[in-house]
Amino acid sequence: MGGAPFIEEAPGTFGGYLPERARSIYSLVGVPFDSTSSYRSGQRWGPRAIREASAFIEFTSLHAGLDVEEVPIYDEGDVGVVHGDARETLRRVSAATRALAGEGRRLIVLGGEHTVTYGVLEGLASALGRTPCLVVLDAHFDLRGDYLGNPYSHACVMRRVLERLHPPRVYYVGVRGFAREELELASSREGVAYSTSLDVERLGEANVAARVKRFLGECGSVYLSVDLDFLDPSQAPGVGNPEPGGLTFREALNLIHAIVDERLVGFDVVELAPPHDPAGLTAVVAAKLVVEVVAAHARALRRARRRGGV
Ligand SMILES: [Mn+2]
């Protein structure tokens, strides 16, 4: 059991073992919520499937050149969600993440559907005094005004974030499926920028990552939201809204390791829908992404400390 409100004991632990909490700066939280799912549901089983997969992969990162077992991740458990009630669930996610971020812990959030990101950002904004800048890996903008009458649907989560939490900067990578109103908003709104999956293919990961870093500029804190559907469905089929033409896992690793630095205050991996993941591979991909993002951050933090910057 963790110390934050609304957190229930985890159904297992990330990586198969629970380190001493004081030895870790990373707090992992699951949010098994999927009530606004519009197509393929089952994201409530995501945290459990990612934890299970995490016990059977190696905690190494070739890009970061380190064994992530040296970087312990403390699994706090799952937020007690209220199925069917997005507002109350988000309130709980916000309270839990505010408490953890208030302790100075770096957050790792396992979805659940993308809606949960709103609660995490609200909690972080409250703990940090301002909303962090965002990097969003997603096939979609999630910028609709509402979806099927629900303002808290996964399809409009980023619209709520922009309207209410005012992140100074938002950069999307991998977008390729959107409504006209979403594209217009993303193209015209100050502080919002994007690179499509085709941009990644044409420019290469290094150039796209350089654009992201330039755009983030002087941001003091950064949050990374990873909707697994940014990857190509051939590599990550088990998601709520698969969209063909996505990134490969290797492109994703190049991007992540070039973008993530010591300013990362947290990240999420959302939209895994285990009932639609017949070979269980999307869960493995999700677990490995967690390991790689932590590895990228841990390396950046070490370098920054050596420079005396943090
Ligand atoms: Mn998406």
Bridge partner list, 223: 134, 266
pLDDT by residue (tens digit) across 109-137?
999 999 999 999 999 999 999 999 999 99
Instruction: Classify residue 57: in a domain, yes or no.
Output: yes
Ligand 1 center to 39 CA (angstroms): 12
As a 3-state breakdown, the chain gives helix, strand, coil percent values, each rounded to 5, of 45, 20, 35
Instruction: Classify residue 150: in a domain, yes or no.
Output: yes
R_g of the chain, CA atoms, integer Å: 17
Residue 23 contacts residue 139 (beta carbons within 8 Å): no
Instruction: Classify residue 265: in a domain, yes or no.
Output: yes
Number of domains in the chain: 1
Ligand 1 center to 3 CA (angstroms): 31
Instruction: Classify residue 2: in a domain, yes or no.
Output: no
Ligand 1 center to 302 CA (angstroms): 32
Positive or negative CA dihedral for 292, 298, 300, 303?
A: negative
pLDDT by residue (tens digit) across 144-167?
988 888 888 888 999 999 999 999
Tokens of 269: 């991996």
Asked whether the predicted pLDDT for residue 6 surpasses 70, the reply is yes
Q: Which of 35, 221, 13 is nearest to 110 (CA)?
A: 13
Ligand 1 center to 142 CA (angstroms): 7
Separation between Cα atoms, residue 242 and residue 251, nearest integer Å: 18
Tokens of 225: 């939201």
Ligand 1 center to 112 CA (angstroms): 12
Ligand 1 center to 149 CA (angstroms): 19
Q: Which amino acid does the sequence have at 39?
A: Y
Instruction: Classify residue 227: in a domain, yes or no.
Output: yes
CATH code of residue 264: 3.40.800.10
pLDDT by residue (tens digit) across 192-238?
999 999 999 999 999 999 999 999 999 999 999 999 999 999 999 99
Q: Which residue range is the domain that position 223 belongs to?
A: 7-307
Separation between Cα atoms, residue 35 and residue 85, nearest integer Å: 7
Instruction: Classify residue 161: in a domain, yes or no.
Output: yes
pLDDT confidence bin for 36, thresholds 50/70/90: confident
Separation between Cα atoms, residue 123 and residue 139, nearest integer Å: 25
Instruction: Classify residue 1: in a domain, yes or no.
Output: no
Instruction: Classify residue 256: in a domain, yes or no.
Output: yes
Residue 71: its pLDDT value, please? 87
